[in-house]
Chain A
Amino acid sequence: MSRAASRLPPVQRVVVVLHHFEGLPYAEVAQVTHSTVAAVRSHLFRARRTLAQTPQEWR
């Protein structure tokens, strides 16, 4: 899974780590990344689709 996460584009990787691994809510991720909640959600949407399709052998 770490291999799958490491293959995400940097911005998506950051928001996935902060939100899904570190448990920060959207608003705090936006604050940390100097972004907006809408942008954070957008990056997470793309990242989730990628991670959900992670090949079984990588898991």
Chain B
Amino acid sequence: MTDVPADHRSGDDDAFDLSLLSRESLACGRSVDDVLEQATEGRGAELDEHQSTCPHCQAALREFKALWNPVTEYAERPVTLPPDFATRVMDRVHLLVRDVWYTMNVTDLGAVRVAARIVGRIARDAARSVPGVRAVLGRTTHGRMVDLVERATRGHLHPHSAVGVLGQTAAVDLAIAVRYGDPVHEVAEEVQRRVNQRLREAITMQAIVVNVTVDDVIHHPR
């Protein structure tokens, strides 16, 4: 490695200067990201005209390839599943589907459940926090996620159900009335955003679908 340019070296004579990875470009001006991409994509030997004479690029390509070798070796290792993998997955699936009225977060310490009505309450309150909005839980449209949750959960076959939960997924239907003159789409999107944010913060849900139907306007002085 005696031909590595001095600006790629750290104080240790044998060590590549890793601080180069926090810089935007090599000393020759080439983008570090582009050269790193070239090395990690296995194109380190495909030198363009500049690289064929540039010691900075050549040294960086060689060193990046060496730094990336553990990733390459790791990716090539065969994946072996534990013998009881399928059983463990299905046990979790059965556990999820059994708890149709609760969210479910399985951790190493046990299971955390939150009742679907709590999800609905939080969603409704979040929607009502948008100025000028009146909101009720209610079924108005059928999103894809709602259908999936319904199919998997017997408890949600009730036609007036407005909240569907399964595991860390929730689907909420909200019907809202907006103030006359307010931009309807913007208000509806703000409702979706706030409900999504509040549910993520409050219950750590991973996937949330918020279906909003605007079905009324409210006339009142501003």
Chain B residues with CB under 8 Å of A53's CB are: 18, 21, 67
Chain A contributes a number of interface residues (CB within 8 A of B) equal to 14
Contact of A1 among B22, B33, B74 (CB under 8 A): B74
A26 → chain B closest CB, angstroms = 10
Instruction: State which residues 37-53 of A face B: CB under 8 Å.
Output: 41, 44-45, 48-49, 51-53
**With A53-B18, A53-B21, A59-B70 in contact, is A48–B75 under 8 Å at CB?**
no
**B197 interface contact, C-beta 8 A:** no
Q: Are A51 and B71 in contact (CB under 8 A)?
A: yes
A-B contact count (CB 8 A): 39
**With A49-B22, A52-B68 in contact, is A20–B36 under 8 Å at CB?**
no
Instruction: State which residues 99-119 of B face A: CB under 8 Å.
Output: none
Chain A residues with CB under 8 Å of B74's CB are: 1-2, 21
Assembled-state Cα–Cα distance A58/B98 (Å): 40
B123 → chain A closest CB, angstroms = 24
A41 → chain B closest CB, angstroms = 8
**A35 interface contact, C-beta 8 A:** no
Instruction: State which residues 41-95 of B face A: CB under 8 Å.
Output: 64, 67-68, 70-72, 74-75
9 shortest interchain CB distances as A-B pairs: A1-B74, A59-B70, A52-B67, A45-B33, A21-B75, A49-B21, A48-B36, A1-B70, A53-B18
* Contact surface of B with A, Cβ cutoff 8 Å: 18, 21-22, 32-33, 36-37, 40, 64, 67-68, 70-72, 74-75
